[in-house]
Amino acid sequence: MNVVVKIGLRNLLRQKRRSVLLGIAIAFGTAILIMAHGFAHGISDNLFNRIVVYVSGHVGVVFSENGNLFKQIFHDGQRVKEIVKKEIPDVVKIEEGIGIFCRAIGNGKSDNVVMIGIDLSQLGDEKTQQQDADNFKMTEGSFEDLSNESIENPVILAKEKAAYLNVKKGDIIRVRYRNVTGQDQAARLTVVGTFLPANMFMSAPVFLELTDLKRLLGYGPNDIGQLFITIKNPKKDAVLYAEKLQEALRPEPARIDGYISAGKGSVPVTVFGYKTDTLSVAALNNKLSATGKKAGKSECFIGDSLSSVLGIAPGSNVALSYRLKYADSIVSSQIKITSLTQKGVLPGNVILLNDEDFYKIFYSNWPAAVKDNPKWHRLSESDPLKEIVAAEWTLFPRAKSTEELAKLQKEIARKKIRGTSVDVRTMYESASSVLSLEYALHMITLVAVLVLFFIILIGVVNTLRMTVKERTREIGTVRAIGMQKSDVQLSFILETFFLTLFSSLAGTVAAFLAMKGLSMFKIDAEGNPIGMMLVNERLYFVPVFTSVVFFICLIMVIAVGTAFFPAKKAANLSAAEALRHFD
Amino acid sequence: MKKMYLLLFTITCAVNAVPKIDELLENIDKRYSMANDVKANVKITQQKTGQGAKKFEMIYYRRDATNSFLIVMTDPAVEKGNGYLRVDDNFWMYRRNTRTFQHINRDESIGGSDARGDDFESRKLMEMYSPAKDSSGKELIIEDTLGQIKVYKFEIKAKVNDVDYPKKIYWVRRDNNLILKEESYALSGTLMQTSYFLKYAEIKKAMVPVKQLFIDEFEKGNKSVLEISGISTEKLDNTIFTKAYLESLSK
């Protein structure tokens, strides 16, 4: 065996020029393969960890109130965050994705910008922190000043944007925007720093601390915006976790357990909202027979027994007081009773309010959940009210594709859904265009590299055929002195094996040097989509060790496989015929 | 004699006393409300710093009885034939080129102008605003003059969330309660917009501001002039407030 290995190695050196040229070709192919993979993986890493995470999260929970897709607010925020933490054990970061377009005026210059909130309390793991640090390479001021409470609405923005608005650290930017209720608002932002944008998506916005942005936009202390969830293994787990969240976010019937005061006194009641879509109103009309008129979209029903206890009639205003979920206090709201139901239709401790008015009360002060108590009405499975009572929110079915998601959004806008709509999505639906781009780049890289290797392997086969032909008489000699067929074949295969091994190792070294070199060049891609592939204005390569080893092994297997047949042909030559061979 | 003086003083005070803001709001709502259908031509001339003047023209149909309105763009050419239809809670935007309707929000821009869907609604001031009061609980209203015209100047604050501005100051004529000037403020107290009501027309006993000037106080140099002409209060055909009508205009 040692002799055959030596012969294989020695043969490499016999035709040095040929071996070197073929080795260079293989090394070049290997280097291109590793670089192309490193680049594609870099784009993938960039898209997944620096863009998708900020654009949609690996998994997202999106809210829209009253069918308005821009009113992304949910009023029982803690509850959703707790559900996310429970259902996704390896969550890296839960961020609220809140951003708003606004008109910004700097020093004599104005521009449209997006205000985006950064949650500084969500540090994530070390990798995420490093990515955050890479994303905000400060050129002036300090990132930490974003949380400086002594500064009025501190913000940081890209260096170019600051130059366009003619502002620098310490200057004021005035912004006009519409808050979460649709009111025109204005605010003063203080520039505390500028940074070099890591990618094109970072150039346009101004960033401020999430709590500052939520305050400016009119979010309450328990309100949250859409949630972007970063997980450890998004490609594997994103869909699985989204399905789990979907199941855990199923809403309960919405109810307010409180006391109603009017006329004769105060009694415990449960207030339910009734759905006002056409089908639900029709169902309500079947079940309830209101005195005087049929159920419409703006009614408030009270049973005759409750009416007589309180001594109230349609048209009366009553005060509903109830305990809050997030504060140890009681609030009071006014409700106008519009209709009485006939005897026995509504339980004696129930008020049925149209969903528009109900949600206004319910969402403005989320009621505390009262444990089972006969004073307040509970809906059993067979309760006739169950199908018409509004839920805490509307959970939409999971969209399986981008097209389904687009349809879903149209449906939310078209149906003018009362209350909050909730949908759970993954990056595969919400950032599919980004992911498609990543897939396309992978495919282009793969095809280009395969074509290159095909050409190189033709060279390998051709070289081996020449070698076999040149060494025919030598083969005859070694076969005549007793060398076995298998050893002859092995010597040729080993020659190719060593050539490929050394060449691919050299190619790997060359690839790493080239990647290092290329990533040192700064590329100005401002305004160009190619900027999406860059990190800190530089090409971004992420070679993976296991992939590099796999590629080297693959190249060697292909090369050895290619050498197998010419080597077999050489081994099968008869010694006598080989000795007689003459070129 | 003292009693006589006291009586005279009381009568004088009563005559000169400023009215309650709610009364003024109610009067304004009454003066502006139109029970009939309305059709009018609307022209918006918008001037923005560094962009020159842009002109937008549209035909506006309104029917308060069904909470409906229709806007058909006639100028600029790129917007011609596009429309906006509001029926009760539904608000659609129609694109002539693609002949498609799309649900939009009421705060969406109309034809690329600064006007928004909710500017064309006919909501009453009384429903949206209540009198602003000082720390002693006194309503913020005074007698003032605007140029040579005697006016009441008063401040109101939003009582619902879905309004453009949470605080407004009005200057209304003392004699007929027509609005002459309006200042709109953000929650932060920043003056965002000043509106001047330059010309009114009386249509079936209702007063219609046919020329208004809006000055953007946030971004100095921006202003818009809104002009309304060709007002008709004839009953409009029911088919006008339908999608089919908008589509038929494209044929």
Q: What is the pLDDT of residues A70-110, one digit of tens each?
A: 888 999 999 999 999 999 988 888 889 899 999 999 998 89
Q: Which of A105, A185, A413 sits opposite B187 (nearest CB)?
A: A185
The answer to whether residue B129 sits within a structural domain is yes
The answer to whether residue B145 sits within a structural domain is yes
pTM across the whole model: 0.76
**Residue in A closest to B107 by C-alpha:** A182
Please list every residue in chain B whose beta carbon sits closer than 8 Å to the beta carbon of residue A67.
103
Selection from A116, A119, A113, A117 nearest residue A101 by Cα:
A113
User: How far does B83 lie from chain A, in Å, by closest CA?
Assistant: 17
B87 shares contact with chain A (CB less than 8 Å): no
Please list every residue in chain B whose beta carbon sits closer than 8 Å to the beta carbon of residue A68.
105
CB–CB of B158 and A416 under 8 A?
A: no
**Residue in B closest to A178 by C-alpha:** B164
- 3-state SS of A310-367 is HCCCCCCEEEEEEEECCCCCEEEEEEECCEEECCCCCCCCEEEEEHHHHHHHHHHCCE
Please list every residue in chain A whose beta carbon sits closer than 8 Å to the beta carbon of residue B166.
183
Q: Which of A70, A184, A413 sits opposite B103 (nearest CB)?
A: A413
CA distances from B43 to A121, A367, B71, B201 (A): 50, 48, 12, 16
Residue A132 is which amino acid? D
User: How far does B141 lie from chain A, in Å, by closest CA?
Assistant: 24
Interface list for chain A against chain B, based on CB atoms closer than 8 Å: 67-68, 70, 103, 105, 110, 174, 176, 178-179, 181-187, 218, 410, 413-414, 416
- Neighbouring C-alpha atoms within 13 Å toward the C-beta of A245: 31
Kindly report the number of other CB atoms within 10 A of residue A418's CB atom. 24
| Number of separate domains in chain B | 1
Q: Is the pLDDT of residue B2 over 60?
A: no
A277-291, A472-486, B18-32, B133-147: least confidently modelled range: A277-291
**Residue in B closest to A104 by C-alpha:** B219
Kindly report the number of other CB atoms within 10 A of residue A202's CB atom. 21
CB–CB of B187 and A182 under 8 A?
A: no
B11 confidence band (pLDDT: 50, 70, 90): very low
Please list every residue in chain B whose beta carbon sits closer than 8 Å to the beta carbon of residue A183.
158, 161, 163-166, 186-187
Instruction: Give domain limits for chain A.
Output: 2-52+433-580, 56-250+399-431, 255-392
Q: Is the pLDDT of residue A582 over 70?
A: no
Please list every residue in chain A whose beta carbon sits closer than 8 Å to the beta carbon of residue B192.
176, 184, 186
Selection from A264, A369, A373 nearest residue A312 by Cα:
A264
- Pick the more confident residue, B102 or A579: B102
**Residue in A closest to B91 by C-alpha:** A414
- DSSP symbol at A288: -
Tokens of A369: 């959940």
pLDDT tens, residue by residue, A31-83: 988 888 888 888 877 777 777 777 778 899 999 888 887 888 999 999 999 99
By residue count, chain B amounts to 251
B contact residues 93-132, partner A, Cβ 8 Å cutoff: 103-105, 107, 118
Contacts of A32 (CB under 8 A, 6+ apart): A449, A452, A511
Rounded to 5 degrees, φ, ψ at A539 are -60, 145
pLDDT tens, residue by residue, A380-439: 888 878 888 999 999 999 988 888 888 887 777 777 788 899 999 998 887 776 667 777
User: How far does B106 lie from chain A, in Å, by closest CA?
Assistant: 10
CB–CB of B107 and A178 under 8 A?
A: yes
Rounded Cα gap, residues B4 and B10, in angstroms:
10
Q: Which of A105, A174, A181 sits opposite B161 (nearest CB)?
A: A181
The answer to whether residue B12 sits within a structural domain is no
Please list every residue in chain B whose beta carbon sits closer than 8 Å to the beta carbon of residue A70.
105
The answer to whether residue B14 sits within a structural domain is no
Q: Is the pLDDT of residue B53 over 90?
A: no
Tokens of A445: 């890289």
pLDDT given at position B10:
47
Full domain range(s) for residue B76: 21-250
Residue B172 is which amino acid? V
CB–CB of A183 and B163 under 8 A?
A: yes
Beta strands (DSSP E) in chain B are: 38-48, 52-63, 68-75, 83-87, 90-95, 100-103, 129-131, 141-146, 149-158, 167-173, 179-185, 191-203, 206-216, 223-232
pLDDT given at position A427:
86
What is the CA A513 to chain-centroid distance, rounded?
Answer: 33
Rounded Cα gap, residues A344 and A347, in angstroms:
7
Rounded Cα gap, residues A113 and A307, in angstroms:
55
CB–CB of A183 and B166 under 8 A?
A: yes
Radius of gyration of chain B (CA): 21
B contact residues 18-47, partner A, Cβ 8 Å cutoff: none
pLDDT given at position B9:
46
Q: Which of B89, B107, B219 sits opposite A110 (nearest CB)?
A: B219
pLDDT given at position A1:
59
pLDDT tens, residue by residue, A235-268: 889 999 999 999 999 999 999 999 988 766 788 9
A513 confidence band (pLDDT: 50, 70, 90): very high
* CATH code, B195: 2.50.20.10
pLDDT given at position B5:
53
pLDDT tens, residue by residue, B210-244: 999 999 999 888 899 999 999 998 899 989 999 99
User: How far does B25 lie from chain A, in Å, by closest CA?
Assistant: 21
Rounded to 5 degrees, φ, ψ at B249 are -70, -20
DSSP-based three-state secondary structure for B58: strand
